[in-house]
C-alpha cells in the first residue's frame, strides 16, 4: 500500500469515528438527574448505614434506566423508571429517618437510666442518714428524667403528624392546613400549637441551622404571592424565636407559587401547596 493509499484509509476511518460521535444521542436529562439523586443518597453516611437494601433496589432501577436510555426507549418509559428509582431513594431516606429516630430514643433511654441510677444511689445514701435535702434532690432528678423521656416520646409521635422526612440537607418538617387567616400573615391558634412542638424539638439541637421556607398556591398575582410567602415565613420564624430558638440560627425564604408539590387545578392540590417547610440542617449543609 502506498503512502497516499494509507493516508486515504486513515482519513476515512477518522471520518467515520467523527460521524459516530456527532450522531450519538446525549444522555436524557431525567437519566442524569436520577443518577445524581441516587449518588447523593448513597453518599449520605446515615442512609448507607441504615438503608443498604433500599439503596440496592434503587441502584438496580437506575442501572435499568440507563440501559433503556442507551437503547433509545421512549420518553414515557424512561420517566416511569425514573419515578420508580426516585420512590426507592425516598424509601431509603424514610428508613434512615426511622433508624435515626430509634437511635435517638435509645440514647435518651440511656440518659434516663443513668439518672435513675444516680437517683437510687442518692436515695440509698439518704436511707443511711444522709441529709433529707439530698434525698429530695434525687427524687427530683428521677422525676425530671421520666418527664424528659415522656417528652421525647411525645415529640417523636408529633413529628410523624408534621410530615417529618429526611432530605439531602437535613430533617424537613412540613406544616400544612389552615396556618394563616385568609390573605394574612397572622398565625392561627392551631399553627402556634404545632410551632411550639417544633420549637421544643429544634431546641434539642441548638448548634444546627434552621431554614424557614414559605410557599403559596397559584391563585392571585405572582408578585403578591411571593411577598405573602415571605411575610408568612418571617411570621413563622418570629414565633419560633419567641419560643426560644436563637434568631441567629434561622434563615427565612419565600418561594411564592414557584415550588408546587401538587397541581393547582383543584382545591386539594392548592391546599398542599399552601405550606411552610422548616428544615433542621445537617452540620456542614449549606
* Residue 201, domain CATH: 3.30.1330.60
| Average pLDDT over all residues of the chain | 82
Q: Is a pLDDT exceeding 50 seen at residue 215? A: yes
Global confidence as pTM? 0.47
Q: What three-state secondary structure class fits 276?
A: strand
- Give the Cα separation of 178 and 189 in Å (integer): 10
Q: Is residue 114 part of a domain?
A: no
Tell me, what's the pLDDT at 66? 93
Q: Is a pLDDT exceeding 60 seen at residue 7? A: no
Q: Is residue 30 part of a domain?
A: yes
Tell me, what's the pLDDT at 179? 82
Cell of 248: 441567629
- Please name the residue that has the C-alpha cell 411570621: 235
Q: Is residue 228 part of a domain?
A: yes
Q: Are residues 172 and 267 in the same domain?
A: yes
Q: Is residue 177 part of a domain?
A: yes
Q: Are residues 188 and 79 in the same domain?
A: no
**Final residue in a domain of this structure, among 62, 81, 98:** 98
What is the percentage of the chain residues whose pLDDT exceeds 70?
81
Q: Are residues 175 and 272 in the same domain?
A: yes
**Final residue in a domain of this structure, among 76, 98, 120:** 98
Q: What is the pLDDT of residues 155-182, one digit of tens each?
A: 666 666 566 778 888 888 888 766 877 6
Q: Is residue 125 part of a domain?
A: no
Q: What is the mean pLDDT of residues 247-274?
A: 92
Q: Is a pLDDT exceeding 50 seen at residue 15? A: no
Q: Is residue 121 part of a domain?
A: no
Q: Are residues 197 and 280 in the same domain?
A: yes
Q: Are residues 182 and 282 in the same domain?
A: yes
Q: What is the mean pLDDT of residues 58-62?
A: 91
In the chain, the number of structural domains is 2
3-state helix, strand, coil in the chain (%, to 5): 65, 10, 25
Q: Are residues 283 and 180 in the same domain?
A: yes
- Give the Cα separation of 169 and 40 in Å (integer): 10
Domain limits for position 249:
165-286
Q: What is the pLDDT of residues 99-126, one digit of tens each?
A: 888 888 887 778 788 877 887 777 776 6
Q: Are residues 174 and 87 in the same domain?
A: no
**Final residue in a domain of this structure, among 72, 98, 124:** 98
State how beta strands 210-215 and 165-166 pair. unpaired
Amino acid at each position: 500500500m502506498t503512502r497516499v493509499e494509507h493516508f486515504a484509509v486513515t482519513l476515512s476511518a477518522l471520518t467515520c469515528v467523527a460521524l459516530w460521535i456527532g450522531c450519538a444521542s446525549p444522555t436524557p436529562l431525567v437519566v442524569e438527574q436520577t443518577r445524581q439523586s441516587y449518588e447523593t443518597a448513597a453518599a449520605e453516611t446515615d442512609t448507607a448505614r441504615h438503608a443498604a437494601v433500599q439503596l440496592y433496589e434503587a441502584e438496580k432501577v437506575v442501572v435499568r434506566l440507563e440501559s433503556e436510555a442507551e437503547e433509545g426507549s421512549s420518553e414515557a418509559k424512561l420517566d416511569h423508571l425514573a419515578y420508580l428509582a426516585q420512590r426507592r431513594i425516598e424509601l431509603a431516606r424514610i428508613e434512615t429517618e426511622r433508624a435515626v429516630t430509634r437511635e435517638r430514643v435509645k440514647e435518651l433511654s440511656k440518659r434516663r437510666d443513668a439518672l435513675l441510677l444516680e437517683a437510687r444511689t442518692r436515695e440509698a445514701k439518704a436511707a443511711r442518714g444522709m441529709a433529707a435535702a439530698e434525698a429530695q434532690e434525687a427524687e427530683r432528678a428521677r422525676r425530671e428524667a421520666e418527664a424528659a423521656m415522656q417528652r421525647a416520646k411525645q415529640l417523636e409521635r408529633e413529628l410523624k403528624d408534621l410530615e417529618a422526612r429526611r432530605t439531602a440537607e437535613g430533617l424537613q418538617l412540613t406544616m400544612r392546613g389552615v396556618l394563616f387567616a385568609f390573605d394574612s400573615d397572622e398565625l392561627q391558634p392551631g399553627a402556634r400549637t404545632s410551632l411550639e412542638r417544633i420549637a421544643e424539638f429544634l431546641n434539642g439541637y441548638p448548634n444546627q441551622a434552621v431554614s424557614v421556607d414559605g410557599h403559596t398556591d397559584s391563585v392571585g398575582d405572582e408578585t403578591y404571592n411571593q411577598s405573602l410567602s415571605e411575610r408568612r415565613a418571617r411570621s413563622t420564624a418570629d414565633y419560633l424565636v419567641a419560643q426560644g430558638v436563637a434568631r441567629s440560627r434561622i434563615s427565612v425564604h419565600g418561594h411564592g407559587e414557584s415550588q408546587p408539590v401538587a397541581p393547582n387545578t383543584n382545591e386539594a392540590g392548592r391546599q398542599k401547596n399552601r405550606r411552610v417547610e422548616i428544615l433542621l440542617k445537617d452540620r456542614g449543609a449549606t
